[in-house]
């Protein structure tokens, strides 16, 4: 502890003396006299010389320039997080000081604005999914899947969940981790390469101990599932039917609630929330009326006060929901409220027609790029049937190699599926590339991307020869 206190902290000698007197110490060294001499560091720390404020900012800019953000490239990344345009109105609303608070909405007399935004978010989710009631949101789709599993187990008093391998592998990992030892055991049904779930395999796996059947729409590789048939299999066995639904696709597709779903969950990052290096996400969860009392997390209801004025309040939750731990339906009592607000603003900005138009843009651009890539020599199809915003192709080279090669050319080519191979029962995914296309991608960008892929594969073929 060599040197005076003012070498380390911006306090005057009189400030230091006042603080030492307050704690009864004679000197700075006296503060550390209980620390054995043998473990004290006496030599100065090997730190560079200090910089001015402007110097620090310049150094930070230099370091930041070494990174290339996804938004600085033409991005075809997907696999759960997508590069959609976030309209300026979203930031204009969510950065208002009224929402820049950590205050939680337990006291309705102080939080009417926050409670109303949550209520409107719940309403939007119900309209999208065709379900009766939604909570205030969850952390991400993975935790939403775990909560759905726990809910199904409590409701049916059964011990197994049948999960399609078409459900995002990271969601399945969260499910396995969060339910280990205290929830229904997940059993994964294998997925034919790039296809929809094998419903015959689901039917064979379902039994009297099945609490729920879970499928994703569209599934991880972009294929569409037969929700009606899957719902019939689940309900015939007395199990619940859970759908992991892409909320943007619901601007075009029929709502899962009208196709037999008992629980609908998913990732709402696509609305109002940037990719942000892969998170945070924004999980949502909606259920039928009969499951209302088991819905985890916050639930905001509309009411009137003694003077008949409209108001909002947390409702239909016992204190057990938050503090009784092993006796609670769920210990989740929070959510990504600011992310939910951003999603609500984006949805309100889009409106019904805008939502459908956005979905149609994604579907048409995805179909265009898919057709163009399949025309490249060596590239073959992987995802079966029509697609919405994401699809997979099989390359004649490792997908990760192509991704690395195209970054210097200004492209993020997609997500190599081999990254998730362990979650797909040893399937050969080395050459499989997941490609996502949002409304931000132009035809010029897509044509340039296809040309870059074509050139790389041609060069790889020459090198191999």
Write down the pLDDT at residue 110. Answer: 73
- Nearest to 342, CA basis, from 80, 118, 130: 118
Average pLDDT on 254-282 reads: 94
Domain ranges of the chain: 5-47, 70-83+352-464, 88-344
- pLDDT-based confidence at residue 106 (cuts at 50, 70, 90): low
Q: Does pLDDT of 326 surpass 70?
A: no
Write down the pLDDT at residue 50. Answer: 85
Architecture of domain 70-83+352-464: Alpha-Beta Complex (3.90)
Write down the pLDDT at residue 197. Answer: 95
- Nearest to 215, CA basis, from 241, 182, 246: 241
DSSP string for residues in 382-419: -S-S--SSEEEEE-SS-HHHHHHHHGGGTEE--EEGGG
The two structure tokens encoding residue 125: 């989710």
Contact predicate 379/395, CB 8 Å:
yes
Q: Could you give the CA distance from residue 192 to residue 40 in angstroms, rounded to a whole number?
A: 62
**Please, which residues bridge with residue 313 across strands?**
301
Strand boundaries in 145-270, DSSP class E:
160-164, 185-189, 210-217, 240-245, 263-267
Q: Does pLDDT of 22 surpass 90?
A: yes
User: Which is more confident, 266 or 330?
Assistant: 266
Contact predicate 169/429, CB 8 Å:
no
Average pLDDT on 272-293 reads: 92
pLDDT digits (tens, 9 = 90+) for 222-234: 999 999 999 999 9
Write down the pLDDT at residue 49. Answer: 86
Q: Does pLDDT of 442 surpass 50?
A: yes
- pLDDT-based confidence at residue 320 (cuts at 50, 70, 90): very low
Give alpha helix (H) positions in 180-226: 199-205
| DSSP assignment letter at 138 | B
Q: Does pLDDT of 425 surpass 90?
A: no
Q: Does pLDDT of 1 surpass 50?
A: no
Q: Could you give the CA distance from residue 454 to residue 378 in angstroms, rounded to a whole number?
A: 9
Average pLDDT on 398-417 reads: 96
Q: Which of 69-73, 155-159, 218-222 has the lowest mean pLDDT?
A: 69-73
Average pLDDT on 434-458 reads: 97
User: Which is more confident, 236 or 10?
Assistant: 236
Q: Could you give the CA distance from residue 195 to residue 251 in angstroms, rounded to a whole number?
A: 23
| DSSP assignment letter at 273 | -
Phi, psi (deg, nearest 5) at residue 201: -70, -35
Average pLDDT on 280-296 reads: 94
Q: Does pLDDT of 6 surpass 60?
A: no
**What global pTM score does this model have?**
0.86
- pLDDT-based confidence at residue 3 (cuts at 50, 70, 90): very low
- pLDDT-based confidence at residue 102 (cuts at 50, 70, 90): low
- pLDDT-based confidence at residue 452 (cuts at 50, 70, 90): very high
pLDDT digits (tens, 9 = 90+) for 336-347: 888 999 999 999
Angle at 166 between CA 287 and CA 83, to 5 degrees: 80
- Nearest to 333, CA basis, from 346, 344, 319: 319
pLDDT digits (tens, 9 = 90+) for 123-174: 999 999 999 999 999 999 999 999 999 999 999 999 999 999 999 999 999 9
Q: Does pLDDT of 331 surpass 90?
A: no
Q: Which CATH number describes the domain made up of 88-344?
A: 3.40.640.10
Mean pLDDT of the chain: 91
Q: Does pLDDT of 2 surpass 80?
A: no
- pLDDT-based confidence at residue 193 (cuts at 50, 70, 90): confident
């Amino acid at each position: 502890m060599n040197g005076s206190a003012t070498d380390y902290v911006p306090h005057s000698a009189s400030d230091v003396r006042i603080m030492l007197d307050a704690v009864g110490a004679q000197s700075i060294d006296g503060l550390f006299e209980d620390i054995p001499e043998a473990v004290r560091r006496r030599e100065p720390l090997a730190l560079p010389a200090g910089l001015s404020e402007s110097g620090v900012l310049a150094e930070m800019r230099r370091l930041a320039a070494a990174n290339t953000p996804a938004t600085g490239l033409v991005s075809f990344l997907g696999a759960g997080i997508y590069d959609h345009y976030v309209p300026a109105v979203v930031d204009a609303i969510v950065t208002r000081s009224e929402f820049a608070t950590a205050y939680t909405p337990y006291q309705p007399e102080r939080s009417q604005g926050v409670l109303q935004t949550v209520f409107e978010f719940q309403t939007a989710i119900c309209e999208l999914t065709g379900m009766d009631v939604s909570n205030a949101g969850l952390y991400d789709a993975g935790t939403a899947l775990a909560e759905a599993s726990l809910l199904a187990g409590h409701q049916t008093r059964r011990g197994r969940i049948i999960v399609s391998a078409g459900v995002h592998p990271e969601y399945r990992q969260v499910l396995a981790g969060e339910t280990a030892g205290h929830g229904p055991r997940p059993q994964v049904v294998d997925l034919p390469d790039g296809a929809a779930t094998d419903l015959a395999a689901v039917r064979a796996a379902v039994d009297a101990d099945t609490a729920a059947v879970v499928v994703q729409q569209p599934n991880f590789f972009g294929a569409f599932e037969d929700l009606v048939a899957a719902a019939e299999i689940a309900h015939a066995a007395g199990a619940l039917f859970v759908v992991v639904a892409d909320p943007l696709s619901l601007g075009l597709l029929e709502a899962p609630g009208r196709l037999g779903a008992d629980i609908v969950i998913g990732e709402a990052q696509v609305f109002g929330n940037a990719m942000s290096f892969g998170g945070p996400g924004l999980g949502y969860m909606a259920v039928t009326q009969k499951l209302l009392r088991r819905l985890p997390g916050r639930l905001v209801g509309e009411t009137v006060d003694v003077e008949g004025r409209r108001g909002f309040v947390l409702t239909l939750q016992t204190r057990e929901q938050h503090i009784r731990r092993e006796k609670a339906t769920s210990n989740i009592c929070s959510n990504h409220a600011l992310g939910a607000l951003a999603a609500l603003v984006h949805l309100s900005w889009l409106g019904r027609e805008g939502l459908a138009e956005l979905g149609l843009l994604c579907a048409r651009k995805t179909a265009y790029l898919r057709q163009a890539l399949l025309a490249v020599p060596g590239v073959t199809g992987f995802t079966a049937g029509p697609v919405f915003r994401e699809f997979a192709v099989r390359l004649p080279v490792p997908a990760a190699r192509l991704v690395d090669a195209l970054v210097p050319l200004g492209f993020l080519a997609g997500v190599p599926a081999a990254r998730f191979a362990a979650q797909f029962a040893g399937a050969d995914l080395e050459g499989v590339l997941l490609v996502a296309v949002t409304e931000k991608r132009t035809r010029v960008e897509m044509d340039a991307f296809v040309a870059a892929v074509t050139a790389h594969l041609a060069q790889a073929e020459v090198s191999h020869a």
